[in-house]
Amino acid sequence: MRYKRNSERTPALCREFIVSKEIAKDLVLHFDCLWNLQIENQYYHFEYLAITPSGNSYIYKYLFFVPDSLTIVTESESVREWKAFLVMDISAVPNVLKLRLQTAPPSLNITTYKVEVLRTLQNNHTWTVQQTILYANESDSAGILKYTYNTKMKFGQYKFNVTPVHKDCIDNFICTVSTPEFLIVEMTEPKLLTGLVAMVILIPILLMLYFIWKRNCDTTEPTREPAGPPKFLMMYEPVSVEHINTMIELYKYFKKCHLHPMIDQFGIAESESKDPLRWYCDAFKEADFVGIFASPIVSKSEREQAQIYNKYSDTEVIAQNQLSYSLCSPGAKCKFFCISVPGSQWDTLPPQAQALKRFNLPRDLDPLLFLTGVAPQCDGGKGFLQTLEIARNAEFNFGCDSNKLTESVLRNNHNTPTIPDEEVGPSTASGLKDDDTSLCLDTAISGSDLLSSRQYLSDEMSTPPSSLDQFSLLGESN
């Protein structure tokens, strides 16, 4: 789970909890977020990902306004001094918006609440699209009232207004509390009449075609189609514009090598949810191989240019969290290794990947392709170097120093030092030797606690390298 201030990329707080299967399903997990005066009266996002023992993942997202601590005390005697605490559940957008309302203390004698749903268009025209009355006696055991509004995917900015029904709250909306606004992007819907007409016409045609096929079809068992190319997930850190372009060109190159590469720059846009977190969850499940690419050493200005140039933010944090989860999941497939291209440094690998098997491209290109189950190129890395040349000469709107990559490519092509095979993986196209150790070791979650918690790397105090001892990683380290 994580808390993130509105309009900021870096999460303010991240935590991961591992819950034992032996705990009852109705367990309520309490976490004290320790609000203080510095973050009051600000908008925050709260998100968490729940992964079941069967592997199913569920994402929940909330938006709320951190209230003034003096306005939510339970000892309030005046309704004008108390403000309702509201949370907008945006997990099911764009279809549904949900309101969660914390009821007032019994001393205020508030029994009903008026809820209004307001919609704003681009011309700043705001109007109430729906209103209702909620009764305090309908709240749950925690004193929370819930209200669901179906947006029907109509474009506009939506928010909830809540006003306690009380004799002291009838003038100037002094008791009215609002949630933050949330934008629903307009989506086209097929007309109902068109759908009905199409169904009436197509159903008889489909039935007729089915019976014709049923009568004339061959009863022999159809031949199985060959399996598709192995799926190869490319995990990297977008540290510079040049590095992003290099990954995009390598994506095209591996596609020509009869692999099915997957990269966030194209995969997220082509996915149904358009959500980076959901795409990475699915990509790690579908991938046959995951390659963690080392990054070049860049300046602060190059990182800032990459943040502007990159389509998505915080993708490297999401990918590293998914990598940690996959490495410590029991029964994980043998599919992880590290890759270095000219100009990159092994020290830039995330801590989770430091102990994985390593391949230095273009020298180890053919062994890498052989490991993934496709035919080696056997061209001495010429096609790979041409791909890097294309990435280096790519046109973009932000300046970058391409001479570094040019010198690294030439130096790697002519003066590549010899490194023993046991440190960087196989270096011949014949594949693995008979006495090579297995690339895949058993992985398991260490510890037997029913509930454990640890900090993510996005917190202020990063995880030390020694914490890798709790994982059973793959391969050998340099």
**List of domains in the chain:** 2-184 (2.60.40.1930), 231-445+459-470 (3.40.50.11530)
What is the SS3 string spanning the chain?
A: CEEEECCCCCCCEEEEEEECCCCCCCCCCCCCCCCCHHHCCCEEEEEEEEECCCCCEEEEEEEEECCCHHHCCCCCCCCCCCCCCEEEECCCCCCEEEEEEECCCHHHCCCEEEEEEEEECCCCCEEEEEEEEEEHHHCCCCCEEEEEEECCCCCEEEEEEEEECCCCCCCCCCCCEECCCEEECCCCCCCHHHHHHHHHHHHHHHHHHHHHHHHHCCCCCCCCCCCCCCEEEEECCCCCHHHHHHHHHHHHHHHHCCCEEECHHHHHHHCCCCCHHHHHHHHHHHCCEEEEECECCCCHHHHHHHHHHCCCCCHHHHHHHHHHHHHCCCCCCCCEEEEECCCCEHHHCCHHHCCCCEEECCCCHHHHHHHHCCCCCCCCCHHHHHHHHHHHCCCCCCCCCCHHHHHHHHHHHHCCCCCCHHHHCCCCCCCCCCCCCCCCCCCCCCCCCCEEEEECCCCCCCCCHHHHHHCCCCCCCC
Note whether 319 and 262 are within 8 A (CB): no
Q: How far apart are CA 165 and CA 163, in angstroms?
A: 6
Handedness of CA 142, 145, 150, 153 (dihedral sign): negative
* pLDDT score at 458: 32
* pLDDT score at 281: 92
* pLDDT score at 268: 92
Per-residue confidence of the chain (478 residues) as pLDDT tens digits? 788 887 777 777 777 888 777 776 677 777 777 677 777 888 888 888 888 878 888 899 999 888 887 777 766 677 878 888 899 999 998 889 999 998 888 888 889 999 999 999 877 888 999 999 999 999 887 889 999 999 988 889 999 999 998 888 876 567 889 999 998 876 655 566 778 888 889 899 999 888 888 877 755 555 555 578 899 999 999 999 999 999 999 999 999 888 999 999 999 999 998 999 999 999 998 999 999 999 999 999 999 898 888 888 889 999 999 999 888 877 666 689 999 999 999 999 999 888 899 999 888 888 999 888 888 876 767 888 888 888 888 644 344 444 443 444 344 444 433 333 333 333 333 333 333 333 322 223 333 333 333 333 333 333 333 333 333 333 444 4
* pLDDT score at 218: 57
User: What's the burial of 296, exposed, middle or buried (CB within 10 Å: 0-12/13-18/19+)?
Assistant: buried
The single-letter code of the amino acid at 115 is V
CB burial string 242-255: b at 16+ within 10 A, e below = bbbbbbbbbbebbe
Q: How far apart are CA 411 and CA 379, in angstroms?
A: 18
Q: How far apart are CA 221 and CA 242, in angstroms?
A: 51
**pTM of this structure:** 0.40
Q: How far apart are CA 360 and CA 81, in angstroms?
A: 66
Q: Would you call the peptide bond into 94 cis, given omega within 30 degrees of 0 as the criterion?
A: yes
Q: How far apart are CA 7 and CA 4, in angstroms?
A: 9
Note whether 44 and 59 are within 8 A (CB): no
CB burial string 126-139: b at 16+ within 10 A, e below = eeeeeeeebebeee
